[in-house]
Amino acid sequence: MIFTVAIDGPAAAGKGTISRAVAAEFGFAHLDTGALYRAVGVKGGDPIEAALSLTAGDLNRPDLRSLEAGQAASRVAVIPEVRAALLEFQRSFARREGGAVLDGRDIGTVICPGAEVKLFITASAAVRARRRWLELGGEAAPKPFEAVLAEVIERDERDMNRTDAPLKPAKDAVLIDTSALSIGEAIAAALAPVAAALSARATQA
């Protein structure tokens, strides 16, 4: 069975946690496409060459989840040649046998516009910044909350206003605002449309 779930949204909205849960629930493969851009960003040097020479080892670097890697990913993601270099890898993964969940910022709009289910996970900038700040250690974090909030807002602006594949929900995406939801509630909200689509497909078969 080929079945694609496209999950988009801004940083720290919860799409990674939700994507992993959806993949586990239905037995689908999962790809965090942001990791591709993070890996390109932290490799340094020419980003186009970095994208063309990306290896599995690059995706296992321990520093890919750092705030700096996220900022680097956002900077290289605005380069059309970098996006083109990673496009086919993502599309091939999405249409693999057995189902796939991809999360990123342009999955439902550019990478997989024909995905069977599209979700857009969001939350307020303040909520997302607090989540990221707590991940970094809260009061023990290397940066104050205000600095993390400023970086989240800066990244949103860059991601939403880039010329190539800006961050925005697909017209047919299900919007899930996780600002006031628990992790369990957010996951349940995401599982429902996927289960409904699978059920509809089974009925038509």
Q: Is pLDDT above 90 for 70?
A: no
On whether 14 is known to bind a ligand per the annotation, the reply is yes
Q: Which domains does the chain show, CATH number per domain?
A: 4-195 (3.40.50.300)
- So what's the pLDDT on residue 68? 87
Interatomic CA distance for residues 125 and 146, integer angstroms: 11
On whether 13 is known to bind a ligand per the annotation, the reply is yes
Q: What is the tens place of the pLDDT at every residue in 86-129?
A: 998 899 899 999 999 999 999 999 999 999 999 999 999 999 99
On whether 188 is known to bind a ligand per the annotation, the reply is no
On whether 109 is known to bind a ligand per the annotation, the reply is no
On whether 142 is known to bind a ligand per the annotation, the reply is no
- So what's the pLDDT on residue 34? 85
Q: What is the tens place of the pLDDT at every residue in 3-27?
A: 999 999 998 999 999 999 999 999 9
Number of CB atoms found within 10 A of residue 202's CB: 8
What residue has token string 């796939």?
100
Interatomic CA distance for residues 118 and 163, integer angstroms: 22
On whether 126 is known to bind a ligand per the annotation, the reply is no
For residue 29, give the 3-state DSSP assignment: strand
What residue has token string 């038509």?
204
Contacts (Cβ under 8 Å, ≥6 apart) of 75: 41, 158
pLDDT band at 205 (very low <50, low <70, confident <90, very high): low
Q: Is pLDDT above 80 for 43?
A: yes
* pTM, 2 dp: 0.86
Task: Quote the percentage of the chain above a pLDDT of 70.
Answer: 100
On whether 144 is known to bind a ligand per the annotation, the reply is no
On whether 10 is known to bind a ligand per the annotation, the reply is yes
On whether 115 is known to bind a ligand per the annotation, the reply is no
